[in-house]
Amino acid sequence: MIKWILAILVSFPVHYSDVDEPADARQVRMGVLAKRIDQAVSRATCRGGREECSPLWPGRPKELAAYLLAVAWWETRLAGNVMRAQCPPKMCDNGLARSPWQFHSWTLTKEAWDGYQDAPLASVAPAAMAATRVLSRGARACHSPEGVFSYYNRQTCVPSPAFVRGARQRVSTFRRLVSR
């Protein structure tokens, strides 16, 4: 699955702030993200034959990976400065959010939150698991892609009127990724 995840990550358009990033540096950054998404999916779906594992994710592993990819894409466009915890003003919810999944301090453990500032690429793993937990709760509660994305943003299965367009974009991306 990691090859599929990486292929999708590198197929997304380069964020305008990353146009000068060397291709090999972007490949490494996307490789880190792909590995962490794959690890989160493996843990949440008990993939890999671990004993005494209770699945967190109620669906197929590919669906969870597609949700994680769609959220990261629509939240940050996979911008390098976001992954490096170097958000300029007006990005990352005006400095209040971190990681490709744009978590606020109350969503991550203190260790993960502080770690993301000090070692952002190393902290992608706890952020990926945090996103996985929220998406899993949404999938269990909402039973539709629209509901899952709404739950991710608002902890309710019904999108706010302001989020309807954003939800449609995320659902479209999710469906496109799952079909690949």
Total domains present in the chain: 1
CB burial readout 65-80, b (16+ within 10 A) else e: bbbbbbbbbbbbbbbb
Rg (CA), the chain: 15
Residues 110-139 have a mean pLDDT of: 84
Give the sign of the dihedral formed by CA 33, CA 154, CA 64, CA 13: negative
pTM, two decimal places: 0.93
* Cβ proximity of 99 and 124 under 8 Å: yes
Tokens of 5: 């995840």
pLDDT recorded at residue 107: 76
* Cβ proximity of 103 and 78 under 8 Å: no
pLDDT tens string 66-124: 999 999 999 999 999 998 888 888 888 988 888 999 988 877 778 777 777 776 677 78
Cβ neighbors of 165 (< 8 A, separation 6 or more) are none
**Which residue segment(s) compose the domain that 146 sits in?**
2-178
Q: Residue 158 half-sphere exposure, CB side, CA atoms within 13 Å?
A: 2
pLDDT tens string 5-42: 999 999 999 999 999 999 999 999 999 999 999 999 99
